[in-house]
Structures are given as C-alpha cells and as structure tokens.
C-alpha cells in the first residue's frame, strides 16, 4: 500500500502535519459554564468542526480525523445521545455540498451497526458523493474505539485468511494493519485533545504509537484557526526521532 509504519521504518516528516487526529473535548463544560444545557455545547462544537476543516484544507493537511462519538459515549443520558445523533444527521444533510465543493472526501469510521437506518443511509450517500475527492480526507469516528478496531481487524484478518490461525508467526504488523478501519490513511503525525484532559481515551490506539501529542485547556467550541495554527507551531518544534538519538537525525 506504500504506507509507512512508524515502527517498521522511519517515515518522512514535513512542517505541516499530514494527518491530524483530534479529540474534540469540552463541549459540555463550555455550555455548563454559560448555564446552558450540555447539548448547546455540542451544537457550538459543530461550528468548530467547520472552522477546523477549513483551516486544515487551507494549511495543506491531507487527513483530518475527528473523534465524534466513542464506543463508551452510549453511557451518556439518552437525550444527549439522541441530540448528538440528530447533530450528525443535520451536519450530513447540510454540509455535504460544501465539503464536496472544498474537495473533501468524507468517511465515517466505527461500528455503525447500532445507528438508525436513516443515519446509515445518509452516511453512505455522503461517502459516495465525496468519494472522488482527494484534497482533504475527513474521517469522523463514530461509535469508534481503538480496541474495537484492533479486534475487528483481527477477526476480519482471520476470517479472510483462516490458515493464519494455524501459522500465527505469519502475522506481522503490516498484515494486521491492513484490516484496521483506517488502513488507507498514514498514521497521525499530530494528535490534539482540547478540554484539558491528557488522555488518549481509546482513540486510534494502534496508529498513535509515534504520534506527537498536543493537549490544550481550550474547550472544543472555542477552538478555531488560530488555535490550530498554535498546535502546528508547537508541532514544528518537536524533534521526531522515531526511536533514534538526536545525533542520528539528519543522517537517514
């Protein structure tokens, strides 16, 4: 596939991260601080998504992956879950034309089986509609969990290659990673989490092995182009060694 695994080889790096993965945290607290219902924070969060998609397109990012709903978010109150689903539906209905016009290819990644058929249809339509685009690959992780991803990859790999169960030594990182739900994307260069927590929260756990991790106290609804550029500025200061020493850098 031509994609470089950070544990198997040293990938090329560039000043602008090619793949940015974001945990959009702090919507609830943003709203609570303003004595608004938590759901108002999610609605505001959609505007931040728009700003960040535009910013990434303008700055030359190729892959943007957003954690919209984790496998664990079903534990939230039913009305918050249903508002989030409504927001996805609305965003898909309203934004797809614009995304298409911006050259964005949209994919929704995760276990979509529990979502209602209408939402799944809209997802399929939006994916088909934007499938020809290549400027920015926008992935929305919905009902996604990193452990779910590794498990589904293992199950699919063995279902398609039953002989591997008899010869497990034949399984290497490249074999398994071909079955991950984002196998078509390079590993993230930069991870951003807003909202002040410093956790990975079961996001892309396989792919984040060598990703630079950036945390900001800013709540997601307050995140925009300036905050994105600040994160990229920080990224440029990082020395990406991929296991090597500082002295080895520059002699690939």
- Strand (E) or helix (H) holding 192: strand 190-193
Residue 193 known to bind ligand: yes
Q: Is there binding between residue 46 and ligand FPP (CB under 6 A)?
A: yes
Q: Is there binding between residue 53 and ligand FPP (CB under 6 A)?
A: no
Handedness of CA 146, 68, 62, 222 (dihedral sign): negative
Q: Which is nearer to ligand FPP, 173 or 217 (CB)?
A: 217
Q: Is there binding between residue 68 and ligand FPP (CB under 6 A)?
A: yes
* Whole-number Å distance between alpha carbons of 201 and 193: 10
Residue 22 known to bind ligand: no
Which of the stretches 18-26, 52-60, 109-117, 174-182 binds ligand FPP when contact is defined by CB under 6 A?
18-26
Q: Is there binding between residue 228 and ligand FPP (CB under 6 A)?
A: no
Residue 72 known to bind ligand: yes
Count CA atoms closer than 13 A to 205's CA, side-chain side.
Answer: 14
Q: Which is nearer to ligand FPP, 123 or 157 (CB)?
A: 123
* Whole-number Å distance between alpha carbons of 250 and 239: 11
37: alpha, beta or left? (left if phi > 0; alpha if psi -120 to 50):
beta
* DSSP character string of 80-142: HHHHHHHHHHHHHHHHHHHHHHTTEEEEEES--TTS-HHHHHHHHHHHHHHTT--SEEEEEEE
Strand partners, 142: 69
Instruction: Kindly give the interhelix angle for 38-59 and 78-101, rounded to the nearest 10 degrees.
Output: 20
Q: Is there binding between residue 88 and ligand FPP (CB under 6 A)?
A: yes
Q: Which is nearer to ligand FPP, 30 or 179 (CB)?
A: 30
Residue 42 known to bind ligand: yes
> Is 73 labeled as catalytic in the residue annotation?
yes
Exactly one of 11, 29, 60, 224 binds ligand FPP (CB under 6 A); that residue is 29
Exactly one of 22, 40, 91, 106 binds ligand FPP (CB under 6 A); that residue is 91
Q: Is there binding between residue 201 and ligand FPP (CB under 6 A)?
A: no
Place of tokens 């590794």: 150
The CB-of-185 to ligand FPP minimum distance in angstroms stands at: 17
The CB-of-48 to ligand FPP minimum distance in angstroms stands at: 7
> Is 25 labeled as catalytic in the residue annotation?
yes
* Whole-number Å distance between alpha carbons of 245 and 64: 29
Q: Which is nearer to ligand FPP, 25 or 187 (CB)?
A: 25
Binding residues for Mg(2+): 25, 212
Residues that bind ligand FPP (CB under 6 A): 24-29, 42, 45-46, 49, 66, 68, 73, 84, 87-88, 91, 140, 195, 220
């Amino acid at each position: 596939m031509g994609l470089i695994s950070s544990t198997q080889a040293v990938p090329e790096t560039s000043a602008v991260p090619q793949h940015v993965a974001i945990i959009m945290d702090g919507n609830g607290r943003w709203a609570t601080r303003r004595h608004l219902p938590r759901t108002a924070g999610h609605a505001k969060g959609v505007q931040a998504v728009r700003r960040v998609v535009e910013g990434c397109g303008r700055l030359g990012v190729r892959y943007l992956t957003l954690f919209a709903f984790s496998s664990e978010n079903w534990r939230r109150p039913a009305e918050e879950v249903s508002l989030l689903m409504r927001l996805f539906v609305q965003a898909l209905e309203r934004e797809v034309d614009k995304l298409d016009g911006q050259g964005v290819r949209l994919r929704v990644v995760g276990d979509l089986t529990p979502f209602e058929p209408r939402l799944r249809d809209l997802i399929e339509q939006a994916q088909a509609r934007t499938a020809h685009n290549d400027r920015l690959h926008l992935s929305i992780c919905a009902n996604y969990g990193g452990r779910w991803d590794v498990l589904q990859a293992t199950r699919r790999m063995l279902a398609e290659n039953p002989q591997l169960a008899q010869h497990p030594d034949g399984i290497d990182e490249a074999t398994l990673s071909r079955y991950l739900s984002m196998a078509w994307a390079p590993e993230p260069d930069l991870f951003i989490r807003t909202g002040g927590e410093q956790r990975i929260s079961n996001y892309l756990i396989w792919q984040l092995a060598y990703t630079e991790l950036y945390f900001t106290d800013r709540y997601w609804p307050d995140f925009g182009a300036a905050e994105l550029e600040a994160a990229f500025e920080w990224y440029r200061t990082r020395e990406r060694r991929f296991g090597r020493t500082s002295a080895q850098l520059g002699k690939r």
